[in-house]
Amino acid sequence: MDMFFLWLKALHVIAVISWMAGMLYLPRLFVYHCETEVGSDGSERFKVMERKLFRAIINPAMIATWLFGLGMLATGVVDLGAPWLHIKLTLVVILSGVHGWFSRLRKDFEQDKNQRPQKFFRMINEVPTVLMIAIVILVIVKPF
């Protein structure tokens, strides 16, 4: 069971890194997409980049993160009563909600309906970062 758990943990960390890479990069693409004229070649290129990033990396990585994480919980190795774990899982649910929100924002760009300025996307770029920092601290330090 220990070796199985370690494999799940390794795959979970790989999936988290992939998910976070996409979640940190997508809002940056939105910032640059704002600079392009609707219907221009640049705008259409950003639509393709955003769609491929979301469908080929962000979505599969989020699904893998959840599956491997739930797999680790199912092994019984993790203390399900630990307060840090409950807070971490709450933050992961929030991060999943941000993922859904980013999907909605991507669809607005895809349909040429974005009304938000660059500054908005620069600010929301920090949301996944803050959540990631809190989650990593909870997992590594286990302060509660």
Q: For the chain, how many helices (H) and strands (E)?
A: 6, 0
pTM listed for this prediction: 0.94
Q: CB of 102 within 8 A of CB of 27?
A: yes
Domain of residue 71, residue span: 2-141
d(CA 120, CA 102): 12
Burial 77-115 (b: 16+ CB within 10 A, else e): eeeeeeebbeebeebbeebeeebeebeebbeebeeeebe
The number of folded domains in the chain is 1
**pLDDT tens across the length of the chain (144 residues):** 699 999 999 999 999 999 999 999 999 999 999 999 999 999 999 999 999 999 999 999 999 999 999 999 999 999 999 999 999 999 999 999 999 999 999 999 999 999 999 999 999 999 999 999 999 999 999 998
C-alpha distances in Å from residue 84, one per residue of 12, 20, 28, 59:
18, 20, 31, 26
